[in-house]
């Protein structure tokens, strides 16, 4: 591809009742606004009474100037088709906060992928209830906030965290092995914007100590699941899952190390897809436009 300026690039996500002519209407609108489509994906839940989902990535020369007019015009089309929609401009990087506890492998993977240019985001800060990650975070020039946490001071901790999220104007929170449960108050403020990595292939081993329980059950695969956080623990919409093989020689400690490879990979993919606006939450599931 010839390089297109990020300033000129945009993604449009649409959800609406299915019906005739939606793709034609959207693509005609974009054409009339001078857009060139880069990538387009759609999905309909049911051919007759279903819901239509679309993601279009496009570019328009001098988009920055044309943007407000385009949005105003699109509002009319959207109203006519009962669309729920949003434009995402590529020159507006999402602002990400990473929460981590003692184990830093997932944090490290995210920082690495970010440094390598695979995660297009501003990492605004890292928040932890332990000091373990401070050095690596600060060595990259990123703010590190140590906020001790336990279940007795949960509300007070979350109040401080929410203040921080607001101060940094955070779009996405990634729980990169953050071992504290969040309250509904916190979760609801960031609906579909908190990604957690759980260290099992859900719904197996929901809750605490999944590797210990995997060991006890004698499984031959360990896994990891990235999902949006909801108020039902480990029940949120699954974004991505993957597994690694283990065998009878692997003790719990081995399974943890092996599983970390899956955790790293799965979380990095899920965050990348979120940042690229490829994920649409639909009840307790996700549509991921690959």
Figure out which of the listed residues 74, 205, 211, 273 binds a second copy, where binding follows CB under 8 A. Answer: 205
Figure out which of the listed residues 17, 148, 203, 207 binds a second copy, where binding follows CB under 8 A. Answer: 203
CB of 201 to a second copy, least distance (A): 6
Q: Specify the pairing of strand 9-17 against strand 122-128.
A: unpaired
**N-term to C-term CA, the chain:** 18
Q: DSSP per residue over 207-259, as a string? A: SS-HHHHHHHHT-SEEEEEEEE--SSTT-SPEEEEEEEE--TT--HHHHHHHH
Contact window for a second copy (CB under 8 A) among 65-73, 112-120, 122-130, 152-160: 112-120
Instruction: Extract the runs of DSSP E, i.e. beta strands, from the chain.
Output: 9-17, 36-44, 51-59, 84-89, 95-100, 122-128, 144-146, 172-175, 194-198, 221-228, 238-245, 279-282, 285-288
Contact call for residue 102 and a second copy (CB under 8 A):
no
Contact call for residue 90 and a second copy (CB under 8 A):
no
Contact window for a second copy (CB under 8 A) among 88-96, 122-130, 150-158, 234-242: 234-242
Under 8 Å CB-to-CB from 42, ≥6 apart: which residues? Answer: 23, 52, 53, 54, 55
Figure out which of the listed residues 6, 7, 15, 42 binds a second copy, where binding follows CB under 8 A. Answer: 42
Contact window for a second copy (CB under 8 A) among 85-93, 158-166, 169-177, 245-253: 245-253
CB of 153 to a second copy, least distance (A): 31
Contact call for residue 248 and a second copy (CB under 8 A):
yes
The token duo for 108 is 């490290």
Figure out which of the listed residues 144, 241, 259, 274 binds a second copy, where binding follows CB under 8 A. Answer: 241
Contact call for residue 44 and a second copy (CB under 8 A):
yes
Partner residues linked to 127 by β-bridges: 99, 145
Say which of 234, 242, 247, 277 is annotated catalytic. 234
CB of 90 to a second copy, least distance (A): 14
Partner residues linked to 39 by β-bridges: 57
DSSP state of 8: G
Catalytic annotation present for 277: no
Nearest alpha carbon to residue 38 among 9, 13, 58, 14:
58
Contact call for residue 28 and a second copy (CB under 8 A):
yes
The token duo for 223 is 């896994």
| Number of separate helices (H) and strands (E) present in the chain | 8, 13
Binding residues for a second copy (CB under 8 A): 1-2, 4, 20-21, 23-24, 27-28, 30-32, 34, 36-40, 42-44, 46-48, 59, 105, 108, 112, 116, 118, 139, 201-205, 217-221, 223, 237-243, 247-249, 251, 257, 260-261, 265, 282, 284-288, 290
Residues known to be catalytic: 234
């Amino acid at each position: 591809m010839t390089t297109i300026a990020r300033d000129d690039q945009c993604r449009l996500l649409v959800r609406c009742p299915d019906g005739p002519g939606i793709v034609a209407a959207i693509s005609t609108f974009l054409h009339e606004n001078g857009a060139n489509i880069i990538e387009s994906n759609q999905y309909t839940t049911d051919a007759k009474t279903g819901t239509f989902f679309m993601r279009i990535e496009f570019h328009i020369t001098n988009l920055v100037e044309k943007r407000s007019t385009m949005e105003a015009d699109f509002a009319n089309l959207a109203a006519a088709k009962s669309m729920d929609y949003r434009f995402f401009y590529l020159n507006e990087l999402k602002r990400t906060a990473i929460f981590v506890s003692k184990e830093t492998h997932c944090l490290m993977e995210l920082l690495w992928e970010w440094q390598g240019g695979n995660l297009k985001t501003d990492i605004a800060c890292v928040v932890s209830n332990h000091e373990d990650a401070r050095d690596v975070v600060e060595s990259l020039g990123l703010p590190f906030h140590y906020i001790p946490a336990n279940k007795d001071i949960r509300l007070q901790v979350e109040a401080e965290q929410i203040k921080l999220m607001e101060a940094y104007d955070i779009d996405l929170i990634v729980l990169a092995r953050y071992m504290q449960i969040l309250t509904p108050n916190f979760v609801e403020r960031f609906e579909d914007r908190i990604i957690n990595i759980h260290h099992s292939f859900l719904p197996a081993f929901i809750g605490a100590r999944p590797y210990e329980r995997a060991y006890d059950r004698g499984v031959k695969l360990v896994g990891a699941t990235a999902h949006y956080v909801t108020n039902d623990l480990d029940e949120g919409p699954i974004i991505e899952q993957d597994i690694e093989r283990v065998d009878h020689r692997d003790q719990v400690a081995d399974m943890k190390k092996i599983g970390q490879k899956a955790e790293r990979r799965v979380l990095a993919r899920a965050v990348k897809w979120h940042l690229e606006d490829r994920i649409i939450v639909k009840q307790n599931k996700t549509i991921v436009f690959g």
